[in-house]
């Protein structure tokens, strides 16, 4: 069984990997561009898996979970280099959403 990681542990593991194998973090703009590229790869795979487009031969071995992990990796890199504690940021974001949207979706007729 795989050990589950906390967000804090994931940030530390990525930082350790970068310092051990990656030489250094790419700059923020490069990482933002890589993040956009990775989201595009996930979008392409989603369009072929759940949408109406068909796979090309070279795309058949792609994996949605792996593409999501690529996105998470780059997002963690960006957080690390900007000294953002993603665990803390996520908790604050969840509180914000709960306060703002605690009845919005429940009252949305489109969701019923």
Cα 29 → chain centroid: 17
| Spatial contact of 41 and 67, defined as CB atoms under 8 Å apart | yes
Q: How far apart are CA 70 and CA 108, in angstroms?
A: 34
pTM reported for the whole predicted model: 0.89
Q: Residue 5: what pLDDT?
A: 95
Q: Residue 1: what pLDDT?
A: 59
Q: Average pLDDT of 4-12?
A: 97
- Helix (H) and strand (E) counts in the chain: 4, 0
Q: How far apart are CA 67 and CA 58, in angstroms?
A: 15
- The tens digit of pLDDT for each residue in 12-32 reads 999 999 999 999 999 999 999
CATH number for domain 7-84, candidates 3.50.50.60, 3.90.1170.50, 1.10.287.1080, 3.40.50.720: 1.10.287.1080
pLDDT at 58 > cutoff 70: yes
Residue 111: partners with Cβ closer than 8 Å, 6 or more residues away = 105
Q: Average pLDDT of 39-66?
A: 90
Q: Residue 15: what pLDDT?
A: 98
73-100: buried (b, 16+ CB within 10 Å) or exposed (e) per residue? bbbbbbbbbeeeebeeeeeeeeeeeeee
Domain spans of the chain, in order of start = 7-84
Q: Residue 79: what pLDDT?
A: 98
């Amino acid at each position: 069984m795989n050990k589950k990681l906390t967000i804090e542990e994931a940030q530390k593991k990525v930082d350790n990997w970068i310092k051990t194998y990656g030489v250094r973090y790419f700059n923020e703009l490069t990482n933002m561009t890589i993040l956009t590229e990775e989201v595009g790869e996930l979008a392409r795979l989603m369009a072929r898996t759940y949408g109406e487009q068909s796979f090309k031969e070279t795309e058949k071995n792609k994996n949605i979970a792996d593409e999501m992990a690529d996105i998470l990796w780059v997002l963690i890199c960006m957080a690390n280099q900007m000294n953002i504690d993603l665990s803390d940021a996520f908790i604050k974001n969840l509180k914000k959403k709960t306060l703002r949207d605690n009845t919005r979706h429940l009252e949305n007729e489109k969701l019923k």
